[in-house]
């Protein structure tokens, strides 16, 4: 799995941004998680009443607004990770490796089934032959 150095660089830049403004005093894990949830809610508002087709065909103005909300979500994720001492890049790489094991490409391709559909009956880890969804 790749490391994701661009995420690590972003996290480092964000630390400097916060330090320049003396905002670390406000960045408790609770406050950051709540702010993150608020930003995710703002992102969802842009899609709330759209059809699936409409959500894939945003106007340039809608696209820019969504881009700003996604950036806000990323900013708060980086702040929360930093406050907890978590390096985002390695965490993403570890999680992607877990996802690859949960969703074998040869079985999950084209399926929206939950990962438990690919585990063997009686095996919590799916180590033996997985059942088909």
**2 within 8 A of 8, measured Cβ to Cβ:** no
Provide the greatest CA pair distance for the chain: 54
Domain ranges within the chain, ordered by starting residue: 5-102, 107-133
Interatomic CA distance for residues 27 and 25, integer angstroms: 6
Amino acid 114: pLDDT: 84
Residue-wise pLDDT for 48-104, tens only, equals 999 999 999 999 999 999 999 999 999 899 889 889 999 888 898 999 999 999 998
Is 2.120.10.80 the CATH number for 5-102? no
Amino acid 7: pLDDT: 66
Summarize the confidence of residues 23-44 as an average pLDDT: 97
For residue 111, name the pLDDT band (cuts at 50, 70, 90).
confident
Residue 13 has pLDDT above 50, yes or no: yes
Amino acid 133: pLDDT: 47
**Residue 65 half-sphere exposure, CB side, CA atoms within 13 Å?**
12
pTM: 0.74
- Measured over the CA atoms of residue 12, residue 18, residue 24 and residue 29, the dihedral's sign is negative
Interatomic CA distance for residues 71 and 43, integer angstroms: 10
49 phi, psi to nearest 5 deg: -110, 15
For residue 37, name the pLDDT band (cuts at 50, 70, 90).
very high
Query: Residue 110 is encoded by which pair of tokens?
Result: 């084209």
Least confident of 11-15, 49-53, 60-64, 122-126: 122-126
């Amino acid at each position: 799995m790749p490391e994701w150095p661009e995420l690590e660089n972003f996290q480092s830049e964000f630390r400097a941004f916060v330090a320049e403004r003396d905002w670390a005093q406000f960045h408790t894990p609770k406050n950051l998680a709540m702010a993150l949830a608020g930003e995710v809610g703002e992102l969802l508002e842009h899609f709330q009443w759209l059809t699936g087709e409409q959500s894939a065909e945003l106007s340039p103005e809608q696209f820019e607004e969504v881009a700003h909300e996604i950036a806000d979500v990323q900013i708060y994720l980086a702040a929360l990770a930093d406050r907890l001492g978590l390096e985002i890049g390695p965490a993403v790489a570890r999680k992607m490796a877990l996802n690859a094991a949960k969703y074998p490409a040869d079985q999950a391709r084209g399926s929206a089934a939950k990962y438990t559909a690919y585990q063997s009956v009686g095996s919590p880890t799916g180590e033996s032959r997985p059942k088909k969804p």
